[in-house]
Every structure is written in structure tokens, then in C-alpha cells.
Amino acid sequence: MMDEEFDFAQISEINYYYDEHFSQLPDTTFSIDHYISLGYSIHYNEETESTKQIEINKISPESREFLLNYPFVTEKGDTTTISSYKAGYIVLDFWYSSCVPCLKALPEINQLAEDHADDGLVVLGINCFDKGIRTNLATKLRAKNITIPLLFGSRDLLESLRINSFPSYIIITQDRKAEFIQGYTEDMKKSIEQIFEK
Amino acid sequence: MNSPVYFITSLITMSCINSAYTQIDSFHSTTQVIQHMTDAVETYDSFQYSTQMRFKESGGDTFTIRNFIINYKSNSANGLYGYDWKISEEVDSGYTFAIMALPEALFGIFSGNKGIGYQHLPKTLDLSSYTEYLRGYLFLSEVITTFNVVSPGDIMLRDSGEYYYLTRQMNKLATRRLTIRKDSLICLFSL
């Protein structure tokens, strides 16, 4: 149902126009019932193949090794790897600065890290888009009491892990196996809670 | 994951929103201008406006134009976006195609056959999808974010009298610039 031929590379200008009705929306704007009352019919679309592939995405042993030894840059400019963290469980939160759901989830992620710090859980914020502005980003997040370590990488890591939607999470277990969880923060939090309830 | 290289100029004019706005003084800092832009957008629980995208093929000298109507309504129940939204475009033959994201589903609505297709609202933002590209360029909060996440030193601010121009060098090839009309945007909040 989307326009696959749309070439965004050719955009040269976008104009935004406002009028006196800028902040006024008719009640029917977001009403499916309204459309149906106008004679529209509704049908369910199967999930696309690409979506299915993403949902069943598994981390290969090669990608896992690549991830564990990937040279991340810290907010202070140091280099580190996931394998250097000795925590029992590690959650990787893949986010970027203009991802609204990612930013909304960060306080919950931060709380999760605090709640289970004594259980040996470490949560790392992984950002592969904003390395060049990491200092400013870190300052803004610290001001909002987000205290989890922030690690910055590049897109080659995302390509290796086949991550192209956000937020995404990877849980690394005690034996350093990696479980990929895509989507709602609640799903990841449930997995973590189940781990520590055992 | 291979994003195309963009050269985008976003021209923002809000001249007719409300005549009650107070005009601000010139010579504000980059930080102040961006903060006022952000505050202005966050002031509204809902809004509707129109946009025009102009396309030009490499080496060509003619523009292709696409027009969109944007609707936004704040809704915390919308787990993915935090707001409900709809992008409507008049396509061939005068028909309208709309993409609408509500908490329960993502809808495609076409007036030609009066059909509504829907699928479950995705759990994540798919950066390579048409929907996310479109949303990123057309929604004010997304447009501003491009400037809000970098330090002021990375943005060039120019004051032309009637407009502010914000320019950010995205990479070696791409630049993003906003033109902001002073007598409307910033007057939503006082300093």
C-alpha cells in the first residue's frame, strides 16, 4: 500500500504552509467509522515478507562474535568492546537521536538497569548514527537522569546484525549467547523479568 | 540501510496561524531559535497543515511537485509514535491516498476504489520504509529534531531581517536548511 517508486534522493525543497485552521482538526480526521459511513470498505493486509524476515531474524555466530568484539566509542571518546563487560547479563538498546519511541523508552530502560544492577545486569545504549554528536547527546541525556553507558558505533554493525528498525534490543546471556528482540520495550522487559524470576 | 544522499531545503512559513502572536526581537542565538521552534510545536495537541515537495532529477531543470495534507494529534496510547497522524496526498485523477497511523493499526486509505487496507501498527520504526521517510520530512517535530540533537556550534544561523536561516551540514555532500519566519514561529513563547 506504499509508494515504492518514491525517490527521496530527488527532493530539492519542501514548503510548509499553515492557515488559520492550523490547530483545528475535525472530529472525523482520525475516524475509520467516518470513512465507512462514506461507503469505504476495509480489509486486512498480510504482513509483508520483509517484515516477517525481520521478526524471525536470528543472530548468527559470526555476527555475535563481530558484535562482542566491535570497537565502540564511548561518550568520552575511549574505545571499548562488549566482551570487556563482565556482567552476567547485558542488554543492548539500539537507538538513535531522532527516534521518538527510542527516546520514550530510555527512562524505562534506565530504570530496568537500576532495578537489576544487583542482579548483575548491565544495560548499554547503542547508537550507530550519532557518533559525531555523541558529546552533546550524552549531555542532554545525563540532564534527564539517563545514566546507562552510551556506546557509539557505525552502520556496519547494524548491517551485520540486520537491524534496520528501532528500538531494537539484544539480550546477551551469561554464556554469551545473544537473543534478538525487536520492538516494544515491554517485550524486552518481560524477558529480563523472566530471567531474574528463575 | 543505504540511505540516499539528500539535499533538502525546508521552508517554514507560519504567517497566518494566529494574529495574536507577539513578534520577537532579532539577534537571538541559535539555541534560542531552536528552543522556540521546539516549544512552538509542542504547544499544540493537534494540528493540520499542507506541504509541498519539489523534486528535481539529477541534471534536470524541471520540478515535479507533490502536495500533502498533514494531520497530527497527540495520543499517548499510540505506542510507536506518541501521536496519531495522517498524511494525505492527491494522486492521479484527483483521487486521494492517505496513510494513517492509529494505536490499533496502520491504514492505507484510497478514495479511488473507496478501499481501506490496514495492518498491525509496527513495533519499531523501519528506517528504510516509505512511511518513515515521508514522516521524517513532513512532520514538524521530526524536522526540528535534525537541528535539536546537535550542538549549536554545528549549526549556522543567519538573520535576514524577516527570516532566520538555520543550516546544518549533514555530511560532506548534504546540507539541511530551515527558513523560519520570525513574526510567527517564535512568538508562541516569550523569552
Predicted confidence (pLDDT) per residue in A140-162, tens digit: 899 889 999 999 999 889 888 88
Q: How far is B2 from chain A (nearest CA, A)?
A: 9
Residue type for position B1: M
Task: Give the closest of A42, A164, A168 to B128, CB-based.
Answer: A164
Q: How far is A183 from chain B (nearest CA, A)?
A: 5
Asked if the Cβ–Cβ distance from A133 to B120 is below 8 Å, we say: no
The number of angstroms, rounded, from the C-alpha of B181 to the middle of its chain's C-alpha atoms is: 15
Which one has a higher pLDDT value, A84 or B129? A84
Side-by-side strand order, sheet with B64-74: A41-44, B115-119, B105-110, B96-102, B83-90, B64-74, B46-55, A11-17, B8-12, B175-181, B163-169, B155-159
Task: Give the closest of A3, A15, A182 to B51, CB-based.
Answer: A15
pLDDT at A48: 52
pLDDT greater than 60 at residue B21: no
Task: Give the closest of A6, A10, A99 to B130, CB-based.
Answer: A6
pLDDT at B24: 43
pLDDT greater than 70 at residue A8: no
Task: Give the closest of A9, A45, A104 to B4, CB-based.
Answer: A9
Q: How far is A134 from chain B (nearest CA, A)?
A: 9
pLDDT at A56: 39
Rounded to whole angstroms, the Cα distance separating A52 from B190 reads 49
pLDDT greater than 50 at residue A188: yes
Which one has a higher pLDDT value, B185 or A109? A109
Confidence (pTM): 0.69
Residue A179 φ/ψ region, left for φ over 0, alpha for ψ in the -120 to 50 degree band, beta for the rest: beta
Least confident of A7-16, A134-143, B139-148: A7-16
Place of cell 571499548: A80
Alpha helices for B51-190 (secondary structure H): 130-138, 140-148
- Give the residues across from B102 on adjacent strands: B105
Mutation pick from B76, B124, B173 vs chain A, by most beta carbons of A within 10 Å, is B124
Nearest Cα residue in chain B from A104: B82
Asked if the Cβ–Cβ distance from B114 to A133 is below 8 Å, we say: no
pLDDT tens, B59-76? 777 778 889 999 999 998
Which one has a higher pLDDT value, A75 or B21? A75
Which one has a higher pLDDT value, A45 or B187? A45
pLDDT at B103: 92
- Position B6 confidence tier, pLDDT thresholds 50, 70, 90: very low
pLDDT greater than 90 at residue B108: yes
Task: Give the closest of B49, B73, B109 to A16, CB-based.
Answer: B49
Chain A contact for B188 (CB, 8 A cutoff): no
Chain A contact for B146 (CB, 8 A cutoff): yes
Of B144, B121, B168, whose CA–CA distance to A16 is shortest?
B144
Residue A176 φ/ψ region, left for φ over 0, alpha for ψ in the -120 to 50 degree band, beta for the rest: left
Of B129, B132, B5, whose CA–CA distance to A99 is shortest?
B132
Least confident of A24-38, A145-159, B110-124, B172-186: B172-186
Chain A contact for B169 (CB, 8 A cutoff): no
Least confident of A73-77, A97-101, B74-78: A97-101
Selected residues 37-96 of chain B with any CB under 8 Å from a CB in chain A: 44, 46-58, 63-64, 71, 73, 79-82, 84, 86
